[in-house]
Structure 1
Amino acid sequence: MADDIEIDLDDLERRMTGAMASLRTEFASLRTGRASASMLEPVQVEAYGQMTPINQVGTVNVPEPRMVTINVWDKSLVNKVEKAIRESGLGINPQTNGPIIMLPIPELNEERRRELTKVASQYAEHARVAVRNVRRDGMDQIKKAKADGMSEDDQKFWENAVQELTDNFVKQVDEALEHKQAEIMQV
């Protein structure tokens, strides 16, 4: 009976993968000086009585390296979309031309680049904490299984497996942070 005790590594891995996906989404919202449609993903617009992502109220295009355009489908939402972008904290000043909102992406100065690398570091630290919390849950499962009769050899095996999984995901977070910081600092 004690040999049947197993730890659900797939669940732990799925949860750690979720932390990585969240980190990638947060990194996508960081402006790097180049236009990208993904930088608008976190921006929500109050449309038809609920908060809606911008890409669901208009077409987002990147016609030039330093310009994002949004062709708002419902003309009554143009001002709401413009207001949402202004209040989003992206540091972009929208220009309206009928149903089209243009977002010129200004060059980032050195000070702003350094600030953005610090923000990226904070996002990465949040992801590391999330991964470590999943690790702690896994270790708690192992302790409970030990109390239920798991052998010491099995305990060591599962602890090593959970730690290896954690180390792998922390390494992925560090690599993603390094890549993002290089992208931000690139002139």
Structure 2
Amino acid sequence: MSASIDLKDLQRRMDGALDALHKDFGSLRTGRASASLLDAINVEAYGSPTPINQVGTVSVPEPRMISVQVWDKELVGAVDKAIRNSPLGVNPVVEGTLLRIPIPPLNEERRAELAKAASSYAEHARVAIRNVRRDGMDTLKQMEKDGEISEDELKSQSDSVQKLTDDYVGKVDSSLKSKQDEIMQV
């Protein structure tokens, strides 16, 4: 009986890299409002940094507007400050415990910067996927060295790992292309 590498585990780990990429893409501001834009922002609340979605309700009432309904009125100033100091470049309008955040249209220079950032996120995802592939290949080489699999099985299973890697790199590339198209859309 011959051993084989756990392709499901490699696939799960590559899915993780793809999920992280989509989360990173969600934090990039395009011309449209998205509740996920605020995911990366932490508010100094109760003595510790807290994600905005844990101090209020984030919603998107209009295509170019995000609103944050802060639950504790004592935290409204801290939420306002955290959003203003974020790299998003937006200025909230405070109305009691509600913050309205208008999302201005992007200029051409900012679009180019965001497209470059998206490329950087995609490259990080590709590196993560290649690291998973390298781990899988190292495992296969060790299995051959230990006599668990033959040289032919090593070649066959290496091809399977490489095909899986190519599929996931293709998914990263197509995600990047669609995100860049979204960013550059005027």
* TM-score bracket relative to the smaller structure: over 0.9
Q: 1:106-147, CA deviations, whole angstroms, 9 ceiling, x for partnerless residues?
A: 110011101110000000000000000000000000110010
Query: What's 1:61 paired with?
Result: 59
SS at match of 1:5: coil
For the residue of structure 2 that corresponds to 1:4, the secondary structure is coil
Cα distance between partner residues in 1 of 2:85 and 2:34: 18
Q: Distance in 1 between matches of 2:134 and 2:45?
A: 41
Normalising by structure 2, we get a TM-score of 0.96
Residue 104 (structure 1) aligns with = 102
1:142 to 117, 133, 140: 140
Q: How many percent identity over aligned positions?
A: 62
Q: Letter of the 1:128 partner, please give it.
A: R
What's the counterpart of residue 73 of structure 1?
71
Residue 55 of structure 1 and its aligned partner are, at CA, apart by 1.3
Counterpart of 2:164?
165
Query: Where in structure 2 are there 5+ consecutive unaligned residues?
Result: none
Q: Which runs of 5+ in 1 are unaligned?
A: none
Distance 1:83 1:169 in 2: 39
Shift of 1:50: 2.8
Question: Do structure 1's residue 14 and structure 2's residue 12 form an aligned pair?
Answer: yes
Aligned: 1:128 with 2:154: no
Distance 1:10 1:151 in 2: 21
Q: Return the alpha-carbon distance in structure 1 between the equivalents of residues 145 and 86 of structure 2.
A: 50
TM-score by length of 1: 0.95
Residue identity opposite 1:70 in structure 2: V
Shift of 1:51: 2.4
Moved over 3 A (4+): none
SS of residue paired to 2:60: strand
Question: How big is each residue's C-alpha offset from its partner over 1:33-80, in whole Å with a ceiling of 9 and x where there is no partner?
Answer: 111111111112222233222111111121111111101000011111
Residue aligning to 1:33: 31
